């Protein structure tokens, strides 16, 4: 898998001198969310309209999970009806999260280690943003292409 190649090839460089830019400097703010009662179809439409590939999932005011395009693809592959299946039924509960003070390098390493592409950003337990692998690739571009 390409992620594994990136991890092995660049892990030493990331640890030695990757980006010290903090997550708070590049995270996406103004996050749109899904509710646990939303159907997969509703969440997919929201994601399409906003051109995002993951949504934090809330039960009222509390974030309880994350739903991604991958979660939806698995549901479709299982021939589940996206109008009848709720986000709650397919979300990843209690996802890993980044902190606004984490560095881009720390966040890349967390994503590589756990094989994930999206992280909510929590500050004192409150959602303040989202970070995707795509966001991090932009930040880490030089570390990825510059030989050690």
Chain-wide mean pLDDT for the chain?
Answer: 86
Q: Do residues 44 and 83 share a domain?
A: yes
Among 56, 79, 95, where does a domain finish?
95
Answer yes or no: do 11 and 47 share one domain: no
Question: Can you tell me the mean pLDDT for 5-24?
Answer: 60
pTM, 2 dp = 0.80
- CB count within 10 Å of CB 134 equals 11
- Domain CATH number, residue 117: 3.90.1280.20
Q: In terms of Cα–Cα distance, which of 4, 25, 13, 54 is closest to 141? A: 13
- DSSP 8-state symbol, 91: S
The span from the CA of 121 to the CA of 94, in Å, is 12
- pLDDT of 15 > 60? The answer is no
pLDDT at residue 5 is higher than 90: no
Residue 143's domain spans which residues? 1-27+98-148
**Are residues 62 and 87 part of one domain?**
yes
| Residue range 37-90, pLDDT digits in tens | 999 999 999 999 999 999 999 999 999 999 999 999 999 999 999 999 999 999
Task: Quote the number of domains for the chain.
Answer: 2
Nearest in space to 54 (alpha carbons), one of 118, 138, 136: 118
**132-145 pLDDT, tens digit each:** 998 888 876 755 66
CATH number, domain containing residue 67: 3.10.580.10
> Residue 2: what pLDDT?
46
Q: For residue 83, give every residue at least 6 positions away whose Cβ sits within 8 Å of its Cβ, in sequence order, or none.
A: 39, 40, 41
């Amino acid at each position: 898998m390409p992620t594994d190649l990136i991890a092995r090839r660049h892990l030493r460089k990331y640890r030695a001198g990757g980006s010290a830019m903090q997550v708070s400097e590049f995270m996406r703010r103004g996050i749109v969310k899904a509710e646990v009662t939303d159907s997969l179809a509703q969440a997919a439409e929201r994601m399409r309209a906003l051109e995002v590939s993951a949504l934090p999932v809330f039960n009222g005011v509390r974030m309880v999970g994350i739903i991604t395009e991958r979660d939806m693809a698995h549901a479709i592959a299982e021939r589940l009806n996206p109008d009848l299946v709720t986000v709650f039924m397919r979300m990843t509960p209690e996802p890993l999260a980044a902190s606004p003070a984490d560095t881009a390098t720390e966040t890349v390493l967390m994503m590589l280690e756990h094989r994930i592409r999206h992280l909510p950003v929590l500050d004192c337990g409150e959602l303040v943003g989202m970070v995707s692998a795509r966001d991090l690739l932009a930040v880490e571009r030089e570390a990825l292409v510059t030989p050690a």
